[in-house]
Amino acid sequence: MANTENFLIVVNSGTDKPYNHYAACVVAFLAKNVAKIPNVTIYYGPYGVAMTKKGELAKLPITDDIKNLIAGQVEGLSASMLPDNLEQLARFEKDQLGVNIVSCGTFHVIDGAGKSIEDTAAIEDFIVPVKLPDAAGALLNADKIHYL
Instruction: Fill in the DSSP letter of residue 8.
Output: E
Residue 1 in this model has a pLDDT that exceeds 50: no
Tens of pLDDT, residue by residue over 6-65, are: 999 999 998 899 999 999 999 999 999 889 999 999 999 999 999 999 999 999 999 999
The H or E element that residue 22 is part of is: helix 18-33
pLDDT in tens, 89-119: 999 999 999 999 999 999 999 988 889 999 9
SS3 104: strand
Angle subtended at Cα 126 by Cα 121 and Cα 129, rounded to the nearest 5 degrees: 65
At 32 the pLDDT is 94
Length of the chain: 148
Structural domain boundaries in the chain: 6-147
| 6-147 placed in CATH 3.40.250.10 | no
Cβ–Cβ under 8 Å, residues 84 and 61: yes
Whole-model pTM: value is 0.92
pLDDT at 2: 52
Asked if 128 contacts 64 with a C-beta cutoff of 8 angstroms, the reply is: no
| 126, pLDDT greater than 70 | yes
User: What amino acid occupies position 61?
Assistant: P
* pLDDT for the residue 40: 98
Burial class (CB in 10 A: 0-12, 13-18, 19+), 95: exposed
Q: Please give the torsion angle defined by the CA atoms of residues 49, 53, 55 and 61, in that order, rounded to the nearest 10 degrees.
A: 0
